[in-house]
């Protein structure tokens, strides 16, 4: 991951691990369920396909992916997240790896689908895209989403929530749970300073992807992309 944000990402997720599933629901106002449903529809994983989930965390996505639809390999930056995912015994989860999204520890042309949630804002987007292209087979699909800077008709509401409510909630939560509080306090600054979605379509094209698409999710609170390896 990008050296400037990798330590921050590691601190956020290492401290967050025990409460990640709950925090994810609260921080997204339950929208994460919708975003993951959209991602799985866009990926359209077929039986027998090999899937890589970059930034799998505690396996929340895998809990929504039936085992019969593919064999999923999970990769995450934090060991504690992987331990929690392993303890869940998720049928669709074939194996777990500790690793970095910018240097995937897999052979070329080894996956049919690459999925990712909440990772690209912490990375060098060109490196993530090139690594995804490298490990995908020809015709393989990449689908991901992440938080994006508020814009459009819903921007005032989203900005108030992201830059105001989340920080206030973090300050209150610090009285009882400092590790979780840090996430709510740090996330607004990360979202505000990362412009990944503005250039990602061109980045995917340069990495060798075609049929690139983009979708604003929940009024622009998050942005999803999909593409096919040429």
Predicted confidence (pLDDT) at residue 117 exceeds the cutoff of 60: yes
Higher pLDDT, 17 or 105: 105
Percent of residues, the chain, with pLDDT higher than 70: 76
Predicted confidence (pLDDT) at residue 2 exceeds the cutoff of 60: no
Question: Stretch 196-216: mean pLDDT, rounded?
Answer: 97
Instruction: Assign domain 6-229 to a CATH class.
Output: alpha beta
The DSSP bridge partners found for residue 215 are 224
Residue 65 has a pLDDT of: 83
Which range is least confidently modeled, 24-28, 106-110, 179-183?
Answer: 179-183
Distance CA 192, CA 190 (A): 5
Closest by Cα among 82, 101, 78 to 11? 78
Residue 9 has a pLDDT of: 66
DSSP string of the chain, one letter each residue: --TTTHHHHHHHHHHHGGGHHHHHHHHTTTHHHHHHHHHHHHHT--TT-EEEEET-TTTTTGGGS-GGG-EEEEEES-HHHHHHHHHHT-TTEEEEEE-BTTB--S-TT-EEEEEEES-GGGS-HHHHHHHHHHHEEEEEEEEEEEE----STTHHHHHHIIIIIHHHHHHHHTTT-HHHHHHHHHHHHHHHH--HHHHHHHHHHHTTEEEEEEEEEGGGTEEEEEEEE-
Residue 110 has a pLDDT of: 97
Q: Nearest 5°: CA angle at 25, between 72 and 147? A: 75
Element at 200 (helix H, strand E): helix 196-206
Predicted confidence (pLDDT) at residue 1 exceeds the cutoff of 60: no
Domain limits of the chain? 6-229
Q: Which residue's entry shows tokens 């996505």?
A: 61
Residue 17 has a pLDDT of: 53
pLDDT in tens, 60-113: 999 888 766 778 999 999 898 899 999 999 988 999 999 999 999 999 999 999
Element at 142 (helix H, strand E): strand 136-147
């Amino acid at each position: 991951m990008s050296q400037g944000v990798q330590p921050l990402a590691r601190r956020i997720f290492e401290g967050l691990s025990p409460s990640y599933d709950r925090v994810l629901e609260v921080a997204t106002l339950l929208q994460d369920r919708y975003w993951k449903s959209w991602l799985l529809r866009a990926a359209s994983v077929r039986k027998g396909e090999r899937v890589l989930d970059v930034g799998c965390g505690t396996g929340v996505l895998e809990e929504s992916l039936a085992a019969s639809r593919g064999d999923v390999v999970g990769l995450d930056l934090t060991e504690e997240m992987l331990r929690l995912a392993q303890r869940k015994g998720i049928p669709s989860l074939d194996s777990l790896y500790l690793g970095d999204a910018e240097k995937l520890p897999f052979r070329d042309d080894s996956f049919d689908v690459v999925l990712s949630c909440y990772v690209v804002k912490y990375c060098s987007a060109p490196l993530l895209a090139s690594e995804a292209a490298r490990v995908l087979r020809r015709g393989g699909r990449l689908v991901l989403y992440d938080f994006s800077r508020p814009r459009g008709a819903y921007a005032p509401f989203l900005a108030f929530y992201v830059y105001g409510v989340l920080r206030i909630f973090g300050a209150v939560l610090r009285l009882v749970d400092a590790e979780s509080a840090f996430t709510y306090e740090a996330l607004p600054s990360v979202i505000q300073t990362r412009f990944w979605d503005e250039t990602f379509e061109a980045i995917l094209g340069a990495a060798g992807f075609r049929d690139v698409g983009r979708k604003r999710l929940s009024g622009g609170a998050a942005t999803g992309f999909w593409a096919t390896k040429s």
